[in-house]
Structure 1
Amino acid sequence: MTGRAMNAASSSSGKWRDLRLRLLSAAVMAPLALACLYEGRLFWAVLMGIAALGISVEWVRLCGAKERAWPGSGVPLFTLLGGGIAVAHHVITGLIVLLIGGALIVWLGRAARHPLTLGAGVPYLGACLLTLIWLRYDPVVGRANVLFLVISVWASDIGAYLAGRLIGGPKLAPSISPGKTWSGAVGGVVAAMGTGLAIAPMLHSGPAIGALWVACLIAVVSQGGDLLESGLKRRFGVKDSGTLIPGHGGLLDRLDGLLTAAPVVAVLAALLGRGVAVWQ
């Protein structure tokens, strides 16, 4: 066997080994997340609070700051404070706290590395996680809407990963994320649309055809969030946001697509009104 063939075989083996690791991690994380989502709004809010803490600490490290010193410590502090106020039925006040907290970190931490990106993490992460909690708090379709969102993002991730590995082809954004391909992007959208159409009738009664375009929107936005985080990591010269999840990296690596798609779904839910599934 030539050296080139051996390298190709080794690379292929490594890719599928990575997939097995991803699946094992998902097998542990998914039941926990789904159990909290199913059990009730409080359980889900607590899980989101824990996620907010972990993600904000990863954001601080990504920006090259120290999470135990100002201004780095202000990111998880203001993210949790603003989110907690908002969850306590003071949404506008919570959002104001997130904005003020982010501005304070930018201003007071201007001598630190990347203060603008560091401070932007507070309203960005806080608002994204807040919308996930707000969606679940709908007493009629909260569980259905969040499940549809989460499963569509998962389907997009899996479809993009498999299509990219099996088909390959032209790169989607080589200067940002060299590993992503157009075939992967299309595969992710198709997988999300098919999955969304299949699960919508099981989640809530009523017409399900709208699930196609909503799942498509979720897939596109979530892939955009993935590219956004990839761009940040490339800018700051890091491979992963953390090492918490085997095969995935950190929480931010795993949840970047969900974080960006959640506000879009929340806007749809707000426009349609409480008690209405986002695909109807």
Structure 2
Amino acid sequence: MSVVELTDGLLPGADRDLVRPLQRQLTEQFEAVYLNTNVAALAGKRRSIEVTFRGDVEKKVQRFDRVLTAVGRRPKSDRLGLENTRVEVTDAGFIVADNRGRTAEPSILAIGDVAGEPMLAHKASHQGKAAVEALAGGATVFEPRAIPAVVFTDPEIAWAGLTETEAKQQDRQVEVARFPWAASGRAHAVGRTEGMTKWLIDPTSERLLGCGIVGAGAGELIAEAVLAIEMGAEIRDLCDTIHPHPTMSETLGFAAEVHLGTATDLYRPKRNKPS
């Protein structure tokens, strides 16, 4: 099996340090991982498919038994007759709706993928609940601080809130605290030490802004981070939260301790800020 990616790294929406353990594993498992490459042409042969590559590939023409093309998704809003209503649709096909799902047409609400990024089922579910409660006269609005994203690979990758990539794009100052799973007793016990847990922290208020996890079961662990960010927790709150031992959930607390320089499972003394 070979993977072809147009950009210079797998999963371009995720932070590079989260993708690295997965990319190392896939490089060992797959025949090839081609980056900065795209498929220029496909040709059906008698018992195979001939693929012509353009980019950083030495052998430009290769043959495969099967080809799966995955280039993204787009909303299917063009055949709903919305042009006969007051509903506004963006150039990308998303329906414009407010934080209660209401569109410019009073009788039409929009939730889920058709209402914009991120296109995730759990986001759609919460939008739907907010819309229904609004219809019933409630004051609920959909304004989450963090929406978790999970890539169900092995190892899994999960993140919530602000990412390092976004912080750099926004030129936003953050502090990052990382805890490698190689220092986790449970990770050693189950033989999954390739993972890592990290927090993004506001340097002034020490409020938790984002979390990223890579490793087995990362999708299960991210829920605690979502709650912490949603509740406006500070890094000290994570340190003061007792996590069961030995579990992978401890890595969330350990990463917080790394930030404060109090970690006992990993020697990372806190550096004094320049005056």
TM-score, normalising length from structure 2?
0.25
Specify which structure has the higher proportion of helix: 1
TM-score, normalising length from structure 1?
0.25
Instruction: State the structure with bigger RCO (CA 8 A, min sep 6), 1 or 2.
Output: 1
